[in-house]
Amino acid sequence: MVLYGLKNCDTCRKALKRLEEVQFVDVRADGVPADVLANAYEVFGAALVNTRSTTWRGLDDTERATPPLDLLASHPTLMKRPLIEKDGKLYLGWGKDVQEALG
């Protein structure tokens, strides 16, 4: 299982604490592999971009109009977190549905 997130994100830390045998990938330091990002965008669509983040508020209208995958590649902290990959299936966020699915 791989968790893509930020080391200083409270939600990511909660998920890491609860999950066992998880590999953590810091999206700010390491980024998200392009194939994982593309797959996540196919599954979650626009919900993958966190439009309530500080990073989003700092973007101008031209940057916000950038295609989502390009925007996430240049600003990985815009991705909603955590993005969890387990056995080829992707989960976004740390809501009750994700917590139950991952046990």
Q: Walk along the chain (103 residues) in steps of 10 and give the mean pLDDT of each run.
A: 96 96 96 94 96 94 95 94 96 97 89
Q: What's the pLDDT score for residue 46?
A: 92
pTM: 0.92
Domain extent listing, the chain: 2-102
Which one is catalytic: 3, 6, 9, 12? 9
Closest CA to 81 of 34, 39, 28, 38: 28
Peptide bond into 68 cis (omega under 30): no
The CATH code of domain 2-102 reads 3.40.30.10
Q: What's the pLDDT score for residue 103?
A: 80
Q: Is 9 a catalytic residue?
A: yes
Q: What is the DSSP letter of 19?
A: -
